[in-house]
Structure 1
Amino acid sequence: MAKPVVPEEARRRRRPTKNGSVLSEQLIIDTALRMLREHGGAGLTVRRLGIALGADPSTLYRYFSGIDDLTLAIGNVLIGRAMAGWKATGEWRADLRELGLRIHAAYLGHPQAAVLTASRVTGKANEVTADETILGMLRTAGFADADAVRIYHAFIDQSLAFAALDAASLALPAAARAADEEVWQATYARLPADTHPHIAATAHLLVGRMNDSAYPTALDMLLDSAATRLGRS
């Protein structure tokens, strides 16, 4: 059973840890992100996190009810980083495109964390702010509510799905990632035209594109479709 989280005003530890730091939610999240980067999701446990912080592992329950609660907080931080410094210009398509690219980049900045969090719904402040912002842009642009929700749904799921997909590739060991990337040149580019005419005809394009993320292209296709729908209505 998850342990209840101590109210914020009562949980601040004023005495430094063995590492000389004063515990805080942000310090725990930053340390967890570092551990994920170095050891992957399997390496993030309460015991290991306590060791890394120089604190008794049980102290972490004053801030988070468990690793799952911490995972949701990490997802919320990644969304917050995507939103930081972003300002709407009033051009809904350009604004959504920039925000989508920011979300994708924020998750790819922490691939192992992205694999854990991209599929989660946190309900926390940064996520709620992002959702309100996206829906507000669409409704202000003139989309009917049903269309605004449909486009919002496709937009945010597409952004996070590509973030998870691309992050999973980045999280692979370097040798495995290099081997995957080499397949396009070593296998696809060598298939004969008499057995695989379409692959052979486009092999040079496949080699040049397939190791890059398709997210910008998919995002533009989604926004083009939305713009066409708005024009018709």
Structure 2
Amino acid sequence: MAKKVVPEAERRRRRPTRTGTVLSEGIIVDTALRMLREHGSGGLTARRLGAALGADPSTLYRYFAGMDDLTRAIGDELMGRALAGWRPTGDWRTDLRSLGLAVHASYLAHPQAAVLTASRVTGRPREIAVDETILGILRGAGLSDPAAVHAYHAFIDQSLAFAALDAGSLALTDEARAVDEEMWQSTYALLPAETHPHIAATAHLLARRMPHSAYPAVLEMLLDHVATRIGGGGGGEETPHG
């Protein structure tokens, strides 16, 4: 059973840790991000995190209900960093594009953390602020509420799905990633046209494009769809099956 989180006013330690640091949620999350970057998700444990902070592992439970709660806090931090660097222009398409790219970039800056958290719903303030912002842009652009929710669902899931996919590649060793990318030249480009005519015809294009993220292109496709809905009066009903 997860331990009860100590109320915010009671969380601060009365004295610094062995390293001279007075702990806070932010310090713990930043340290966890560093550990994920250096050791991957398997290296993030309460014991190791406590050691890195110069504190007893049990101290973490004054701030988080458990490691899963810390995981949600890490995801919330990545969302917060995306929103902190984003500035609205008042043009819905420009704003959605820049926010989507900001979310994607924030997660890719911490690939191991992205793989760990992209599928999670944190319910924390900064994630909620991002969701409120996206829905505000869509409703402000003239979409009906059902159409806005439909577009929001596609937008945020697309952003996080590509963040997880691209982060998974970045989290590989340099050698493994190089082998994967070289496969387009060493295998696909050598397939004969007699058996694989379509791959053979496009192999040079595949080799040039596939090592790069498709997210910017797919984001534009989604924005085109939203523009169509807005141009059609916003749409009063959700599309069947999402």
TM-score (norm 2): 0.94
Runs of 4+ off more than 4 Å: none
Once residues 65 and 38 of structure 1 are traced to their aligned partners in structure 2, the CA distance between those partners, rounded to angstroms, is 24
Identity of matched residues, %: 73
Q: Summarize the alignment of residues 67-216 of structure 1 with structure 2, pairs less than 5 Å apart.
A: 67-216=67-216
- Deviation of 1:14 (Å): 3.1
- Deviation of 1:120 (Å): 0.4
Partner of 1:60: 60
One-letter amino acid of the counterpart of residue 179, structure 2: A
Partner of 2:219: 219
Partner of 2:31: 31
Contact 2:114 2:163 in 1 (8 A): yes
- Please give the root-mean-square deviation of Cα atoms over the aligned residues, in Å: 0.8
- Deviation of 1:193 (Å): 1.4
Once residues 174 and 14 of structure 2 are traced to their aligned partners in structure 1, the CA distance between those partners, rounded to angstroms, is 41
Cα deviation digits, residues 79-118 of structure 1 (max 9, x gap)? 0000013221111011000000000000000000001110
- Deviation of 1:28 (Å): 0.5
One-letter amino acid of the counterpart of residue 220, structure 2: D
Cα deviation digits, residues 183-204 of structure 1 (max 9, x gap)? 0111111111121111111111
Cα deviation digits, residues 14-62 of structure 1 (max 9, x gap)? 3111112111111110110010001111111101111111111111110
One-letter amino acid of the counterpart of residue 154, structure 1: A
Q: Which moved more, 1:143-152 or 1:83-92?
A: 83-92
Asked if 1:51 is matched to 2:54, the reply is no
Once residues 167 and 96 of structure 2 are traced to their aligned partners in structure 1, the CA distance between those partners, rounded to angstroms, is 21
One-letter amino acid of the counterpart of residue 174, structure 1: D
Q: What are the ranges of 5 or more consecutive residues in structure 1 without an aligned counterpart?
A: none
Once residues 53 and 139 of structure 2 are traced to their aligned partners in structure 1, the CA distance between those partners, rounded to angstroms, is 45
Partner of 2:14: 14
Structure 1 counterpart SS, 2:119: coil
Contact 2:47 2:57 in 1 (8 A): yes
